[in-house]
Chains A and B, each alone.
Chain A
Amino acid sequence: MPSGGPADSVGLVKGAGGFAIAWLGLCLAACSNDPYPNERGDEKVLYLPFAEPPKTLDPAEAYSTVDHSITARVFDTLLEYHYLKRPYELFGSLAEAVPEPRQLEDGRVEYRFELRADLRFAADECFARFGTQSPDLPNSRRITADDVVFELRRLADPAVGSPVIDQFALLSGFADFGARLEARRKADAAFARRRADEQYRELGGFVGARSEGERTVVVTLDQPYPQILYWFAMNFTSPLPWEAVAHYDGKDGRDPLAEHPVASGPFQLVRYEKRARIVLEKNPLWHGVRHPEWRAPGTVFPALDDVPNLSPAEKAGYATSVGQQLPRLARIEYIREEESIPAFSKFLQGYYDISSIARENFNQVVHEGGLSDEMRSRGMQLEKTVTAAVFYIGFNLDDPQIGSAGGERTRLLRQAMSLAIDSTEYARLFMNGRGIAAQSPLPPGLFGYDEAYRNPYRQPSVERARELLIRAGYPGGIDPKTGRPLHLTFDVGDTSPEGAVRFHFWTNQWRQIGIDVELAATNYNKFQEKVRDGAYQLFTWGWVADYPDPENFYFLLTTRMARSVSGGPNSANFKNAAFDETFERMKAMENGPERRQLLERMRGILQEECPWIPLFHPEDYALLHGFAKDVKPIGISSPVIAKYYDVDAARRRELRTAWNEPVLWPAALFVLALVALLVPAVRTFLRERQ
């Protein structure tokens, strides 16, 4: 009898069906949307999504927000920002205190940083390789002033390619050291092959960064630059062991230094799969952990008595945390989420503790500036922070049509164009209102910001703009030379349809006063090329502060930083002697009434000359679950302080269980539907065969 008759078919169908149902049943029994099934009990782990992998964890090179989200947690800095105080205030972290500047006889300025005693690096195999570990702690050693000096020398090293060499060029001998290093390496191949620390030592370093004894770092500047202290609150100046640079060279299977930081911060990197998952764990050798009796600033949660900027409600929220030992988390897990929607869904399920709010989710989360009822019922919290940043439209003042060469006429034109722009409406339409209208480059929270100040050319008024256009010689926006509307070009580095809608918002506002502004949208590379070549009239850009000082905003408009002079970030090519002179005086001053006066003078010059149309200071909205505690966004680009964060893991587990019970009945329905679909056909087939 031939095989494969109807009986066989029935058997096969039954067998396959049975197997499929059993398999489905088994799978469903194990089904859960929990992405962390191996989580250990109620361990305090903070879960965060990240969209873009860090570029580098080398403290001399890391300069992006995403880099800093890791480096700022594993590298400790000599100074640190107070977690709660606004305006921002520095205090000693690895250093005992914030050093006072000392004027030297030759005009230079010196800062002496005294390091705390008994600071140690996190354990790492690089110390054992060179036999430099401390006798009492395997795989670690004490931090000395030389480790800070070594890192400062790395900043000057051309082979490292630090992005901040310009900012550190004021250190005495900094540029010269880099030049000597490069020349010697070119001339002497044997020298070039030696370890970096040996090369630095042989060349004698530079006088601007030196150590005195084990604990004193002496930094000397060629001229006063009080803002240098802010750079000591960033990772560029964190101590780095020479052993790490020598060992982690990316050769013979060893990690590159960019992927293997050896640091002394409250957390240490234990897993670095940068395209999927990054894990930090509490560093048992961090000084705050090793010496809880120190109770030093930055090792315990700060007291609230001297934090006047906190509201009574905020103080009540932080009250139970005061004095608690840091870091409060055992681990931080970063999970890669390239897309915002899955990330937000997992946040709602309780699998992330903190989330930003994507535009598509905004209305679900925020209602009339506060949390929506749905979010409130889930115990969410909303943290709003105005970022120390400014976004603006700039005029290229080298351009004959709108630039400085046109004198009063072009100045009035720029003022009129500024009056036509309504950035509050822009923020409402395109940013869900997450931005406050800018009156000057300075954002709130910085010294010199004046809440009461109103820039007369930033109060949108089409009528006033038209009046100014008449005075500028463009009545109704008509260019008398051509008899047609004044034609200008607005260059943007974004060709997306969404970008076009945004930019057309501005051009339409100028059209209201009769000016024809053509949008020239190119890709970002082409836009950069145009800016390099000076072939642009209007542009839009933004600046996020490196540190919270007005100098870090006003330097953007100095002649020295003009794109056409030095290729610097002053793309407006604003060159004003009075502004420059005031800036030079202001930048070297301590905060006080005199500095405030100078800042007001500079603000006045910008108001009248109008090289920029300041648009808005963006506002960050962070959404937190009720079980995530004491999270205060700091609002500047570099420090992301997580040692103060806390999480109630038990409560989180309860809520996750309640929110994520699998719904299994649709599986049974699916199987039934499949059977109902197949049975008639099989029966007909069998009947026909028989």
Chain B
Amino acid sequence: MLAYLIRRIGYGGLVVLGVLFFLFSLFFLVTTPDDIARRAVGDKAMPQVIERWKVNHGYDRPLWPGVEHPRDNLLVDHFEKMLTFDFGKSDADGVPLSRRIREGALPSLLLTTPMFVLGVLLAIGISLVVALFRESYLDRLGVFWSVLGMSVPLVIYIIAGQFVFGRLLRWFPISGFDWDPQVLWRFLAMPVVIGLLAGLGSDVRFFRTVFIEEINRDYVRTARAKGAGELRVLGAHVLRNALIPVLTNVVMAIPFLFTGSLLLEAAFGIPGLGSLTVEAINANDFATLRAMVFLDSLILIGGQILTDLSYTWVDPRVRLD
């Protein structure tokens, strides 16, 4: 397993290097250091102000390595900084990015963790219920709502949720965020519920399929023949044996809890990491963009390795070689 892990991490490293290179190439294909500077200092700035900004932020150097500047160029600097986790400062506002990421991670986690945990529990619970009542009106209703839920974009859930729960019923604040624990739940309740509902359809439909497939297996029939109750059959037999596809779906999502949800955070004013990448693209903020893309790629690779490891945990027959 150690050899497998080393190999996967090695492959992952190559992927990250590739991502960093493509990010740099694509970004500077459509954006010049002048554009970065102009967005930072404003349209009214005179050329000498733009030049000064570039000097102060190191963007006066050539983009690519050359004979005269094999090291003193933006590409080498880009790799050096990322591979040493030196994220530097935002190009847009000069704030240290390690601080920005630290500050943004917690609000994202506060939003995504309950959404994820409740979502998984609820999706599994509902899927088990519809699997239990398969072919009944509850099953058909469950599938209908799942397909409907999958078909509606998140933004519609958000607009409808804010209108119904915030404006019509007035149960929750329409948006906002506060660190005070007594108040925080009010702000998180609606986005958590909306995020949960929006993700529920696809999960329920997927888990239901997995559970129904398991329910029809011989060992389930045997368990029932031995007199096991329906709850025991579902909880101890079906659920356990259906865990691999469930885990594939669930474990991959765990690392991304950290990066938050773009739309929910933007609509509800939650200062997480979800909208940071989009803000960076809009602001020509290369420093923030590369830090976020770098972290995202690390998280993706970490998530894949974690998923592989989780297979060995739920099914001892699985060997990672």
Q: Is A661 an interface residue (CB 8 A)?
A: yes
Min CB distance B135 to A, Å, is 11
* Contact mask for chain B residues 177-220; partner A; CB cutoff 8 A; 1 contact, 0 none: 11010110011010000000000000000000000000000000
- The listed residue (B41, B159, B187) touching A63 by CB distance below 8 A is B41
Query: Given that A663-B170, A681-B133 are known contacts, is A337 also in contact with B175, CB under 8 Å in the complex?
Result: yes
B52 touches A161 (CB 8 A): yes
* Contact mask for chain A residues 278-321; partner B; CB cutoff 8 A; 1 contact, 0 none: 00000000000000000000000000000000000000000000
B269 touches A2 (CB 8 A): no
- The listed residue (B47, B94, B271) touching A273 by CB distance below 8 A is B271
* Contact mask for chain A residues 499-543; partner B; CB cutoff 8 A; 1 contact, 0 none: 000000000000000000000000111101100100000000000
A338 touches B172 (CB 8 A): no
Residue of B nearest to A56 (CB): B93
* Contact mask for chain B residues 87-100; partner A; CB cutoff 8 A; 1 contact, 0 none: 00000111110000
Query: Given that A161-B49, A258-B95 are known contacts, is A33 also in contact with B229, CB under 8 Å in the complex?
Result: no
Residue of A nearest to B54 (CB): A161
A53 touches B169 (CB 8 A): no
- Which residues from A are CB-within-8-Å of B45? 63, 163
Query: Given that A341-B159, A528-B34 are known contacts, is A38 also in contact with B232, CB under 8 Å in the complex?
Result: no
A161 touches B231 (CB 8 A): no
Residue of A nearest to B36 (CB): A525
Residue of B nearest to A7 (CB): B229
Instruction: Please report the C-alpha to C-alpha distance between residue A513 and residue B230 in the assembled complex, in whole angstroms.
Output: 80
B170 touches A338 (CB 8 A): no
Which segment, of B14-22, B70-78, B112-120, B160-168, faces chain A? B160-168
B269 touches A342 (CB 8 A): yes
Instruction: Please report the C-alpha to C-alpha distance between residue A566 and residue B49 in the assembled complex, in whole angstroms.
Output: 12
Q: Is B227 an interface residue (CB 8 A)?
A: yes
A window 612-668: CB within 8 A of B: 660-664, 666
- The listed residue (B30, B141, B159) touching A525 by CB distance below 8 A is B30
A342 touches B226 (CB 8 A): no
Q: Is A481 an interface residue (CB 8 A)?
A: no
- The listed residue (B47, B104, B133) touching A685 by CB distance below 8 A is B133
* Contact mask for chain A residues 152-173; partner B; CB cutoff 8 A; 1 contact, 0 none: 0000001101110110000000
Instruction: Please report the C-alpha to C-alpha distance between residue A525 and residue B32 in the assembled complex, in whole angstroms.
Output: 8
* Contact mask for chain A residues 332-343; partner B; CB cutoff 8 A; 1 contact, 0 none: 000111110111
* Contact mask for chain B residues 271-308; partner A; CB cutoff 8 A; 1 contact, 0 none: 10001000000001000000000000000000000000
Q: Is A588 an interface residue (CB 8 A)?
A: no
Min CB distance B33 to A, Å, is 11
Q: Is A677 an interface residue (CB 8 A)?
A: yes
- The listed residue (A12, A259, A523, A660) touching B95 by CB distance below 8 A is A259
* Contact mask for chain B residues 18-56; partner A; CB cutoff 8 A; 1 contact, 0 none: 000000000000111011001011101111110011011
Q: Is B222 an interface residue (CB 8 A)?
A: no
Q: Is B233 an interface residue (CB 8 A)?
A: yes
Instruction: Please report the C-alpha to C-alpha distance between residue A346 and residue B172 in the assembled complex, in whole angstroms.
Output: 11
Chain A facing B: main interface SS: loop
- The listed residue (A161, A338, A342, A529) touching B162 by CB distance below 8 A is A342
- The listed residue (A35, A256, A666) touching B173 by CB distance below 8 A is A35
Q: Is B138 an interface residue (CB 8 A)?
A: yes
Instruction: Please report the C-alpha to C-alpha distance between residue A159 and residue B92 in the assembled complex, in whole angstroms.
Output: 16
Residue of B nearest to A34 (CB): B173
- The listed residue (A4, A258, A339, A660) touching B230 by CB distance below 8 A is A4
B173 touches A9 (CB 8 A): no
B177 touches A277 (CB 8 A): yes
Residue of B nearest to A250 (CB): B96
A63 touches B174 (CB 8 A): no
B132 touches A258 (CB 8 A): no
A346 touches B175 (CB 8 A): yes
B44 touches A159 (CB 8 A): no
Min CB distance A337 to B, Å, is 6
A345 touches B166 (CB 8 A): yes
Instruction: Please report the C-alpha to C-alpha distance between residue A53 and residue B275 in the assembled complex, in whole angstroms.
Output: 13
Query: Given that A35-B187, A689-B230 are known contacts, is A159 also in contact with B56, CB under 8 Å in the complex?
Result: yes
| Interface size classification for chain A | 35 or more
In the complex, how many residues of chain B place their beta carbon closer than 8 angstroms to a beta carbon of chain A? 72
- Which residues from B are CB-within-8-Å of A33? 166-167, 170-174
A662 touches B284 (CB 8 A): no
- The listed residue (A8, A163, A526, A529) touching B41 by CB distance below 8 A is A163
Q: Is B266 an interface residue (CB 8 A)?
A: yes
Min CB distance B128 to A, Å, is 12
- Which residues from B are CB-within-8-Å of A37? 182-183, 186
B41 touches A666 (CB 8 A): no
Instruction: Please report the C-alpha to C-alpha distance between residue A533 and residue B228 in the assembled complex, in whole angstroms.
Output: 79
Query: Given that A2-B226, A31-B172, A346-B174 are known contacts, is A55 also in contact with B231, CB under 8 Å in the complex?
Result: no
A window 562-597: CB within 8 A of B: 566-569
A532 touches B169 (CB 8 A): no
- Which residues from A are CB-within-8-Å of B275? 338
Instruction: Please report the C-alpha to C-alpha distance between residue A30 and residue B169 in the assembled complex, in whole angstroms.
Output: 13
- The listed residue (B44, B138, B172, B267) touching A681 by CB distance below 8 A is B138
Q: Is A324 an interface residue (CB 8 A)?
A: no
A9, A163, A275, A677 pick with most chain B CB within 10 angstroms: A275
Instruction: Please report the C-alpha to C-alpha distance between residue A346 and residue B137 in the assembled complex, in whole angstroms.
Output: 41
Query: Given that A339-B267, A342-B175, A567-B47 are known contacts, is A661 also in contact with B170, CB under 8 Å in the complex?
Result: yes
Min CB distance A345 to B, Å, is 5
Min CB distance B259 to A, Å, is 15
- Which residues from B are CB-within-8-Å of A161? 41, 49, 52-53, 56
Q: Is B62 an interface residue (CB 8 A)?
A: no
B132 touches A685 (CB 8 A): yes
Query: Given that A4-B228, A38-B183, A685-B133 are known contacts, is A663 also in contact with B30, CB under 8 Å in the complex?
Result: no
14 additional A-B residue pairs with CB within 8 Å, beyond A158-B55, A662-B171? A1-B227, A27-B189, A56-B94, A64-B42, A158-B56, A166-B48, A166-B49, A256-B95, A258-B95, A275-B271, A337-B269, A529-B34, A546-B44, A685-B132
Report the 7 A-B pairs with minimum CB-CB distance, sorted nearest first: A4-B229, A567-B47, A275-B271, A4-B232, A276-B271, A35-B173, A4-B231
Could you name 25 residue pairs across A and B whose Cβ atoms are closer than 8 Å? A2-B232, A4-B229, A4-B230, A33-B166, A35-B178, A38-B180, A55-B92, A55-B93, A165-B49, A166-B48, A258-B93, A335-B176, A337-B175, A338-B269, A338-B275, A339-B266, A341-B159, A342-B175, A342-B268, A349-B167, A524-B35, A663-B170, A666-B169, A681-B133, A685-B132
Interfacial residues, chain A to chain B (CB-CB below 8 A): 1-6, 8-9, 12, 27-28, 30-35, 37-38, 53-56, 63-64, 158-159, 161-163, 165-166, 250, 256, 258-259, 273, 275-277, 335-339, 341-343, 345-346, 349, 351, 523-526, 528-529, 532, 546, 566-569, 660-664, 666, 677-678, 681, 684-685, 689
Interfacial residues, chain B to chain A (CB-CB below 8 A): 30-32, 34-35, 38, 40-42, 44-49, 52-53, 55-56, 92-96, 103-104, 107, 132-133, 136-138, 141, 159, 162-163, 166-178, 180, 182-183, 186-187, 189, 226-233, 235, 266-271, 275, 284
